[in-house]
Amino acid sequence: MASSAARLSPASTPVTNRPSSSAAASGPIRRVAVVRKGTMANAQRARAAGAVGTSALRRVHHRWSDTSRTEAGPLMTVAGGERRGQSIVTTAAAASSVPAQVRGGDTGESAAIINTIKAIFGAGGFALPWAFAQGGTLLVSTCLAFSCVFALEALKMLVKAQDVLVEGKVVAGQSEVQTYAGLTRAAVGPAGDVLCKVLNVVTCFGITVSYLIFVSDTAISMLPKASAAAFTTAKMITITAPLWVALSWLRSFKGVNLISLLGTMSVALGMTWVMVVALSNPLQIAAIPTANPAAFSGFFGTVAFLFFIHFTLFPIQEAMPDPKKFVPAVSKAFYFSMVVSCAFGIIGAFGFGPEVKSVVITMLEGAAGTAVKALLCVNLLFTFPLMARSCLVILEEAARGSAAALSTPLSLGIRSSFVIAAALLACNVPNFGTVLGLVGGVCCCAMTLAMPPVILYKSMKKANVPVEGFQMAKIGLVCATGLVCMVLSVVL
């Protein structure tokens, strides 16, 4: 038992049979006293370790029983390709050490960086060349840097809110604030929980609209020119709507790791090929503006859509053996992604010119271009059920009310209605970039910039932690910035 305690607590030091000089001077009686004292200390450590282990097991049971609860963000794979439930055991095991110690020196930082980059780059990234062509190279680059820095500050506020609530014993443990929805509920109360769910549904609805437009436009571009002329985006959405409805009915997510790998490969391949084709075209540098503030409402949502993803980052934090490395890992991923985004957007804008489409891959031609388009369409089709899962569960829970269960016909009706409503809206919006502008500029701004400062402020008040002058100023600045960006995304 003593050896187990020593492994669980890195602060414990093994008792040796080699006496110190003072012990040697005191003779055998002194040595016995030293050993007895060490044995008692080890017994105390063993009891403490047992308590920690019991607490960790309770946390594991609580988290496994909590996996069916709604989270404010799409289901996603976490570090190492593990599912969320599997990562919980890793987290609890790390938490059972006092302080947390990672075996073999693996902090999980590398996996967290990779998964964060995967969360940042998706279909929305292919609107970047259009955003740069609309807003100008300098203005959009500045907005990218601004979004990256402010998003990181907001993320730090969320992490601090977690720590404040746990250390202040406002919540029973880390598991209660391990999701965005759970943290909002603990800090703001029932009203915050409702607001979080509403924003989640609206965000996922907007993303569904963008998926429909993206896949339809891309599918049309893959057809022969004679056939493509007979299709509009609305017509293609109408034809493919039954497929999207059927996908919304899925509840089993077997093969999620394969889908995630396919998605990562298709996005990376697509971005690479777009840059290759753009650089092979005559560069139209003079045709792209340096700054066009009037286009802010059009392009800012596309920029925000990249970095305002905090509700998807909590599973990555939970999967890390050393959660203290979470913010540094996300910071590295954000800065790397910012550089790549600027390069991709500027090259695409210069290569395809001011007439670049909001879905830039539709401008790719040839067999290679068709292959890239097909991969991206398949990726979006099969990631749609994962993305929409959380909001569909929220809608089903709202319809269920106090009933024990929801009937299958009603459940399928809710899911079908969600997709049909998204398809109707998708048929009546100008383009993919406009949808991203509204979703990213309003909903993502609210959840990533406006709400985190409020969550931190409420958490500190509940834990009776004083909000100092500089901290209060930063809270006010980030929150006000988020609100201003939301307004500008609509009115400009």
CA distance 295 to 332: 30
Contact at 8 Å (CB) between 270 and 361? yes
Burial, 487: exposed, middle or buried (Cβ in 10 Å; 0-12, 13-18, 19+)?
Answer: middle
Q: At what angle do helices 296-307 and 128-135 cross, to 10 degrees?
A: 140
Residue 405's pLDDT band (cuts 50, 70, 90): confident
Q: How high is the pLDDT of residue 257?
A: 59
Least confident among 24-38, 122-136, 187-201, 241-255: 24-38
Q: How high is the pLDDT of residue 79?
A: 35
Q: Is the pLDDT score of 187 beyond 50? A: yes
Residue 463's pLDDT band (cuts 50, 70, 90): very high
CA distance 289 to 284: 11
Tens-place pLDDT, residues 257-311: 566 677 778 888 999 999 999 999 999 999 999 999 988 877 887 888 788 888 7
Average pLDDT, the chain: 78
Considering only residues 51 and 396, tell me which one the structure prediction assigns the higher pLDDT.
396
Per CATH, the number for 112-491 is: 1.20.1740.10
Q: What letter would DSSP give residue 402?
A: T
Tens-place pLDDT, residues 51-94: 444 444 343 343 333 333 333 333 333 333 333 333 333 333 33
* Stretch 37-55: mean pLDDT: 44
CA distance 375 to 372: 5
Q: How high is the pLDDT of residue 2?
A: 39
Considering only residues 38 and 266, tell me which one the structure prediction assigns the higher pLDDT.
266
C-alpha dist (Å) from residue 274 to 129, 239, 353, 360, 473 = 10, 28, 13, 8, 43
Q: Is the pLDDT score of 368 beyond 90? A: no
Burial 408-432, CB ≥16 within 10 A → b, else e: eeebeebbbebbeebbebbbebebb
Q: How high is the pLDDT of residue 106?
A: 61
CA distance 477 to 401: 39
- Cis preceding linkage at 315, omega within 30: no
Residue 250's pLDDT band (cuts 50, 70, 90): confident
> How many Å separate Cα 490 from the centre of its chain?
24
Residue type at position 184: T
Q: Which sign does the torsion angle of CA 336, 268, 378, 68 carry? A: negative
CA distance 84 to 198: 23
* Stretch 248-256: mean pLDDT: 76
Least confident among 194-208, 364-378, 422-436: 422-436
Q: How high is the pLDDT of residue 472?
A: 94
Contact at 8 Å (CB) between 188 and 72? no
CA distance 334 to 270: 20
Q: How high is the pLDDT of residue 265?
A: 83
Considering only residues 245 and 429, tell me which one the structure prediction assigns the higher pLDDT.
245
Contact at 8 Å (CB) between 151 and 310? yes
Tens-place pLDDT, residues 303-320: 887 888 887 888 888 888
For the chain, the domains span: 1-36, 112-491
Q: How high is the pLDDT of residue 73?
A: 38
Least Cα distance to 274 among 383, 375, 359 occurs for 359
Q: Is the pLDDT score of 469 beyond 60? A: yes
Q: How high is the pLDDT of residue 291?
A: 95
Q: Is the pLDDT score of 485 beyond 60? A: yes
Tokens for 171? Answer: 């919540």
C-alpha dist (Å) from residue 91 to 77, 297, 315, 344 = 15, 41, 11, 36
Considering only residues 310 and 24, tell me which one the structure prediction assigns the higher pLDDT.
310
Q: How high is the pLDDT of residue 325?
A: 92
Considering only residues 12 and 204, tell me which one the structure prediction assigns the higher pLDDT.
204
CA dihedral (422, 424, 427, 432) in degrees, to 10, reads -20
Number of other residues whose CB lies within 10 A of the CB of residue 260: 19
Number of other residues whose CB lies within 10 A of the CB of residue 223: 14
Using the structure block, give the residue that is written with the tokens 């404040």.
164
Least Cα distance to 95 among 156, 8, 168, 14 occurs for 8
Contact at 8 Å (CB) between 417 and 284? no
* Stretch 222-241: mean pLDDT: 91
* Stretch 102-122: mean pLDDT: 77
What percent of the chain has pLDDT above 70?
75
Main-chain phi, psi angles of 41, to 5 degrees: -65, -40
* Stretch 451-477: mean pLDDT: 93
Burial 353-365, CB ≥16 within 10 A → b, else e: beebbbbbbbbbe
Q: How high is the pLDDT of residue 315?
A: 84
Tens-place pLDDT, residues 130-164: 999 999 999 999 999 999 999 999 999 999 999 99
Q: How high is the pLDDT of residue 385?
A: 86
Q: What letter would DSSP give residue 282?
A: P
Tokens for 111? Answer: 């996996």
Burial, 387: exposed, middle or buried (Cβ in 10 Å; 0-12, 13-18, 19+)?
Answer: buried
